[in-house]
Amino acid sequence: MREEEPKKEVQEEKKTIKEEPEKLNTNMDELNTMKSTSSSQSKMYKLEDIESGKLFACISYLSILALIPYFSESTNPYLKFHAKQGINLLVFEIIIAAGSIFFSLGILTAVFTLAEFILFALSVVGFINALTGNARELPIVKQIAIIK
């Protein structure tokens, strides 16, 4: 009788060990899904749209060159997403550049320089997002976007 008890325990442990990886895989899949949907909107776009629009999406963050993807006749929604963000950045760059030209006095010069640096950093972030296939809205730009 006592030998049967350890055998039962061993069988139950084997059963538990076999079930654990399945549970872990399920939990990891759920975690990856949650992570990808919370950090990026890329799930909204088809993989072929992302791959075909990646180059022009990157161009969207290169200042005046943002006009090229924006006015292209592409129906690629991934490209249009990045083109709109690039145009919004371009508008902000023009406003900040005009402000720095007309109001280049003392402390305002430092403020405009800081704003230009922030816009440059946002352009780099957007470029990297486009290059890696992500469709994340840029901070600051999404709150005050002119073109939606």
Buried b (16+ CB within 10 A) or exposed e, 111-136: ebeebbeebeebbebbbebbeebbbb
Q: Are residues 21 and 90 in the same domain?
A: no
The whole domain housing 9 covers 1-39
Q: Are residues 64 and 5 in the same domain?
A: no
Going by pLDDT thresholds of 50, 70 and 90, the confidence category of residue 13 is: low
Q: How many domains does the chain have?
A: 2
Q: Are residues 129 and 63 in the same domain?
A: yes
Q: Are residues 136 and 86 in the same domain?
A: yes
Q: Are residues 86 and 26 in the same domain?
A: no
Q: Are residues 63 and 107 in the same domain?
A: yes
| pLDDT over threshold 60, residue 115 | yes
Q: Are residues 107 and 76 in the same domain?
A: yes
Higher pLDDT, residue 46 or 42: 46
The amino acid occupying position 4 is E
Tens digits of per-residue pLDDT, 117-143? 999 999 999 999 999 999 898 888 777
Compute the half-sphere exposure of residue 49: CA atoms within 13 Å on the CB side of its CA. 16
Q: Are residues 98 and 78 in the same domain?
A: yes
Q: Are residues 92 and 119 in the same domain?
A: yes
Instruction: Check residue 2 and give its pLDDT.
Output: 53
Q: Are residues 35 and 50 in the same domain?
A: no
Instruction: Check residue 82 and give its pLDDT.
Output: 93
Q: Are residues 67 and 138 in the same domain?
A: yes
Compute the half-sphere exposure of residue 48: CA atoms within 13 Å on the CB side of its CA. 1
Q: Are residues 65 and 115 in the same domain?
A: yes
